[in-house]
């Protein structure tokens, strides 16, 4: 059955447009002329936000949503596709359908990464809900992997979970207020659509489309509109009395325990061996894992929500705390550490690392960083203050978790970080006295840490494989500081044209194949020369030099520090570390630079495991610590 969608336009505040000026972003039904652009954006969405599915399943979704499939979806009576358009560019979409059981289903909701945090997704969702309500639906359901918090804010509640391709997903539902109202709307909608269809048959251009439909039916071809998931039935669930979580008003407070899992000592050992190999000694403890949402603050002091994983050894009291800041996993929400599935895409297998320390009696917490599971744009990548706050408030969150309070000594806290996380760990320690004076930091540990962001970036002139590092910095800094850089003076074409989308559409396992290992093909020759010279003049690069200087972490706290570095590291070069470590030496505070002569950036955490445990034991026992400071 053919259907012409009633076209209504919405501005970004959701109001129907009458005589108002034309909005920057328009929400409207899909037009036939949009099919090509929609298909292109749909494939970008698969690369950007849905990489938690196995590659074979992603390929299946692509096949099931070809241009022809999308065309026939556009023609189906109960299928709806709304798009967001800005200056003739299609920048977002929402796919939904009205089911025969009076429950609508939303299949896809997506906004281009460079336009997020502008409420476009909210407007697409509201327009979709309004449309489904007009079609007589009493409720709307959807399935999501990592945006359950976003949908709760929009009035959805958790019905339960389901599994697709081995991936656990949230099933969520939005109820309309009155089923009687829905029935009246449904009747009116049917009458309106009948009138429209009678008018449509008089339009000559529809004959071609009708012939296409008849031809498809004649050869018994069925074109599914969108089949993102095969959702298994979910047992009936009682709607919670309060669907939304009551906001918590202090940094470090726990907004929600999202999930909890218990692992036996044998399971802990098996997970630790994934990174540490067969020689890992069996775990003496089981571990309880909780995924939490906790409160932290942004640059304006406003409360925001981050995610963290908490690992608590069972049967232990007085466990010291290891707060881990992870290395770079990517800027897309799909690249969050708490979503890592190393059997599908291995970004470091952080669960294996955390389990290894929990097996040795440490309570662990590992943050996702700001925006990594949110909708507020890219993470503030390599912004020391933002990283530091996220780490410190993840430690504070342990004080609000009963299992952590019972098992841990929260006065003995070590902050550790790998690569980007080393930058975050040192930033957290340097911020702690002013931002979190309630915390007691016993020591700081870095593995191949970024200390001077500009020096690490400049390493691309000396063999570092970090061609992708600069683009991620540019996107993160522009979003955080609110000013733009003259990208054309920094990046060559085509990299300068689609910077935000390119950065936010890839996790760390795919950045080197995309950006390559030849800096001269990514950056302008002038920029490479200026970066190597350590001088980025503002007339060419705007505030970039000042922003890089602001994020050079020189941690002058009195906390002991252990910096582990692989001599064969081709990511954060070993030659960069002596000067960075020397800058942190003062007043006899022990700062030890421990070089591993045969190790790279990627095997350093395994190689140093025993030494790190011994160093932490020595700190807690107040023994004399080694230092490379003069």
Residues 501 and 558 in one domain: no
- The domain in which residue 522 lies consists of 458-550
In a domain, 312, yes or no: yes
Neighbours of 406 (CB within 10 A): 11
Structure tokens at 302: 């406003």
- How sure is the predictor about 152, in pLDDT bands with cuts at 50, 70 and 90? confident
Q: Is residue 244 part of a domain?
A: no
Residues 613 and 408: their CA atoms lie apart, in Å, by 17
Question: Same structural domain for residues 114 and 212?
Answer: yes
Contact 145, 169 (CB under 8 A): yes
Q: Is residue 418 part of a domain?
A: no
Question: 523 and 408 share a domain?
Answer: no
Over residues 359-382, the pLDDT tens digits come to 999 999 999 999 888 667 789 999
Look at residue 627 and tell me if it is in a domain: no
Task: Specify whether 76 is located in the same domain as 123.
Answer: yes
What whole-number distance in Å separates Cα of residue 107 and Cα of residue 619? 53
Q: Look at residue 53 and tell me whether its pLDDT is greater than 80.
A: no
- In this structure, is residue 169 part of a structural domain? yes
Q: Within a 10 A sphere around the Cβ of 208, how many other Cβ atoms?
A: 8
Structure tokens, 342: 């190393």
**Sheet-wide strand order for 408-418:** 254-263, 287-297, 303-313, 363-367, 319-325, 408-418, 441-447, 561-566, 591-596
User: What domain count does the chain have?
Assistant: 3
Distance between CA atoms of residues 385 and 381, nearest Å: 10
Cα radius of gyration (the chain): 27
Domain-embedded: residue 373: yes
Structure tokens at 208: 């071609």
Q: How far is CA 153 from the centre of its chain?
A: 18
pLDDT given at position 332: 82
199 located within any domain: yes
Pair (64, 199) in one structural domain: yes
Please write the tens of the pLDDT for every residue from 581-621: 999 999 999 999 999 999 999 999 999 999 999 999 999 99
Is residue 196 located within the same domain as residue 282?
no
Query: What CATH number did the domain enclosing 41 receive?
Result: 3.40.630.30
Same domain (yes/no): 188, 310:
no
The answer to whether residues 587 and 533 belong to one domain is no
Among 48-52, 400-404, 449-453, 570-574, where is mean pLDDT lowest?
48-52
For residues 101 and 182, is the Cβ–Cβ distance under 8 A?
no
Does the residue 297 lie in any domain? Answer: yes
**Same-domain check for residues 334 and 371:** yes
* High-pLDDT (> 90) share of the chain, %: 63
Cα–Cα nearest to 33, from 67, 61, 76: 67
Q: Are residues 479 and 436 both part of a single domain?
A: no
DSSP letter string, 404-430:
HHHHEEEEEEEEEEETHHHHHHHHHHH
Residues 265 and 374 in one domain: yes
Contact 515, 467 (CB under 8 A): yes
Asked whether the predicted pLDDT for residue 447 surpasses 50, the reply is yes
Last residue of a domain, one of 510, 528, 550: 550
Q: Are residues 469 and 436 in the same domain?
A: no
């Amino acid at each position: 059955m053919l259907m012409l969608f009633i076209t209504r336009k919405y501005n970004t505040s959701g109001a129907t447009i009458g005589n108002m000026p034309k909005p920057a972003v328009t929400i409207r039904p899909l037009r036939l002329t949009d099919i090509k652009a929609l298909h292109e954006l749909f494939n970008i969405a698969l690369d950007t936000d849905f990489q938690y599915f196995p590659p074979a399943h992603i390929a299946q979704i692509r096949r099931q949503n070809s241009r022809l499939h999308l065309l026939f979806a556009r023609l189906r009576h109960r299928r709806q596709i709304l798009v967001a358009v800005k200056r003739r560019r299609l920048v977002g979409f929402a796919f939904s359908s009205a089911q025969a059981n009076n429950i609508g289903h939303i299949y896809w909701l997506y906004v281009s990464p460079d336009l997020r945090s502008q409420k476009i997704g909210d407007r697409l969702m509201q327009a979709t809900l309004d449309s489904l309500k007009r079609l007589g639906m009493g409720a709307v359901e959807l399935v999501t992997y990592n945006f359950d918090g976003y949908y709760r804010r929009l009035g959805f509640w958790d019905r339960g979970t389901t599994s697709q391709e081995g991936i656990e997903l949230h099933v969520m539902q939005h109820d309309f207020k009155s089923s009687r109202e829905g029935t009246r709307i449904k009747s009116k909608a049917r009458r309106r659509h009948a009138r429209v269809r009678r008018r449509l048959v008089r339009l000559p251009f529809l004959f071609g489309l009708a012939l296409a439909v008849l031809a498809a039916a004649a050869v018994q071809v069925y074109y599914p509109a969108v089949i993102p998931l095969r959702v298994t039935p979910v047992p009936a669930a009682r709607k919670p009395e309060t669907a939304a979580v009551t906001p918590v008003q202090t940094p470090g407070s726990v907004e929600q325990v999202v999930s909890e899992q218990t692992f036996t000592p044998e399971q802990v050992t098996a997970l630790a061996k994934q990174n540490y190999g067969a020689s890992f000694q069996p775990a003496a403890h089981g571990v309880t894992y909780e995924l939490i949402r906790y409160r932290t603050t942004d640059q304006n002091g406003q409360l925001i929500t981050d995610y963290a994983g908490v690992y608590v050894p069972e049967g232990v009291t007085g466990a010291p705390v290891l707060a881990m800041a992870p290395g770079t996993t990517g800027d897309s929400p799909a690249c969050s550490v708490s979503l890592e599935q190393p059997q599908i895409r291995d970004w470091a297998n952080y669960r294996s690392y955390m389990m290894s320390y929990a097996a040795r009696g440490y309570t662990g917490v590992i943050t996702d960083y700001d925006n990594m599971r949110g909708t507020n744009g890219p993470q503030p990548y390599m912004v020391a203050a933002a990283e530091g706050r996220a780490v410190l408030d993840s430690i504070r969150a342990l004080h609000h978790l009963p299992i952590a309070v019972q098992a841990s000594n929260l006065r003995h806290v070590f902050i550790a970080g790998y690569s980007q996380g080393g930058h975050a760990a040192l930033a957290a320690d340097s911020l702690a006295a002013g931002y979190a004076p309630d915390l007691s930091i016993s020591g700081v540990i870095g593995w191949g840490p970024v200390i001077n962001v500009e020096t690490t970036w400049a390493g691309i002139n000396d063999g570092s494989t970090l061609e992708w590092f600069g683009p991620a910095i540019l996107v993160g800094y522009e979003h955080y500081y609110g000013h733009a850089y003259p990208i054309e003076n920094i990046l060559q074409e085509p990299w300068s044209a689609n910077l935000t989308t390119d950065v936010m559409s890839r996790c760390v396992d795919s950045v080197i194949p995309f950006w390559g290992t030849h800096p001269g093909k990514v950056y302008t020759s002038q920029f490479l020369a200026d970066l190597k010279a350590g001088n980025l003049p503002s007339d060419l690069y705007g505030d970039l030099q000042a922003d890089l200087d602001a994020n050079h972490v020189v941690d002058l706290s009195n906390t002991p520090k252990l910096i582990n570095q692989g001599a064969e590291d081709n990511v954060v070069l070993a030659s960069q570390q002596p000067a960075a470590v020397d800058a942190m030496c003062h007043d006899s505070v022990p700062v030890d630079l421990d070089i591993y002569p045969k190790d790279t950036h990627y095997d350093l955490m395994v190689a140093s495991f025993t030494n790190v445990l011994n160093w932490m034991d020595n700190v807690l026992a107040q023994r004399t610590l080694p230092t490379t400071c003069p």
